[in-house]
Amino acid sequence: MPRTTIVLTLGAADLGLLRWAISPAWELLASIRALHAPAAYGGIHMPWLTEHRDDPLLRSTGPEAVRTRALTAGPRDHLPGFLAPTPASPLATVDDELRLVAGTRADVVRRDLRGVFPDGVPRALAPMLRAPRRELTAAVRDLRAYWERALAPAWPRIRGLLESDIHHRARTLTERGPAAMFGGIHGDLTWQAHAGSGTLSVANRAGPAGPRRRVLDGRGLVLVPSAFAWPRVWVKTSEPWTPVLRYPVRGVAALWGAEAGARPDLAAALGATRARLLLLLDTPATTDELSRRTGLAAGGVSVQLHKLAAAGLVRGHRTGRSVLYARTGRGDALLA
């Protein structure tokens, strides 16, 4: 299929409205696609895929599962926009977002389905064209059940990784500007500054040759890091949503990795618990996440993190309602 470039024009108002958010509903949808086509993800989610490859949503031949699969596993470059509304707040819950999905206007549902399936909507989705609100209510019920089985147990770990990415990108934007921030997100993104504005080019999109230009016109842009977007960037600029760009989160390769064991030399110098925590902070994490991964009480983990922070080996930073701990340069050097 021919590849093209989408060129987004951001004016001063759009730059002023630039923000980050986390979208559980997007992770839900993208994870279903990963279960359908695991080879496309290069093995990066293999531990999770192996655990959930027999999920009823994937294996059932019942009409509900067939409908949900048809909705979420369509053409490679497209999903119906109404399935993943742009997050309205930085830390929306999956219930917040699924309520928005269930309340989508009927004309938007029909428009998006026909846009994703221009050669004809799959038979399993024909009832959704006739009765969008009724069918969406049923689909949302199935998606919520899937979330509880497949993603809710891993969500604290995923969310911690996403929050860490947001902190890093926002700091890069503040310290080095939009060109460095966008360029660091993905190789398909290129920022060009103009007087009080700029253009963001998103390469390697499916479509006819030649760039497709979209002016955001003061609607802003929401940046959403994602574990299951890897290895691609996803863009949505259609009404009625705020434009959104979803991109692979930093450190996704470590998401399902085995827990690090404490090195004997570090354990002797720091104590076994502190050495273990320092090694686990390859990816920034919250106290609760470290507690779950180690089996230690959250209070004990907090005490040890404060000792590591006092030694200059880790640093905590607040992101929303959470505090993420990350190794400092001094902590990295100790592990070199």
In the predicted model, what is the mean pLDDT of residues 35-54?
Answer: 82
- Mean pLDDT of the region 164-169: 84
Predicted confidence (pLDDT) at residue 222 exceeds the cutoff of 60: yes
More confident residue, 32 or 38: 32
- Coil/strand/helix, residue 226: strand
State the pTM of this model.
Answer: 0.77
State phi, psi for 172 to the nearest 5 degrees. Answer: -65, -45
Element (H, E) at 20: strand 19-20
Region 162-177 average pLDDT:
87
Instruction: Give φ, ψ of 282 to 5 degrees.
Output: -55, -35
pLDDT at 72: 82
pLDDT of residue 102: 92
Residue 226 contacts residue 235 (beta carbons within 8 Å): no
For the chain, which domains are there?
Answer: 3-252 (no CATH), 258-335 (1.10.10.10)
Under DSSP, the state recorded for 113 is H
Asked if 30 and 229 count as a contact pair (C-beta separation under 8 A), the reply is yes
Do the Cβ atoms of 246 and 57 come closer than 8 Å? no
Out of 116-120, 221-225, 244-248, which region has the weakest mean confidence (pLDDT)?
Answer: 116-120
pLDDT digits (tens, 9 = 90+) for 88-139: 888 889 999 999 999 999 999 999 999 888 888 889 899 999 999 999 999 9
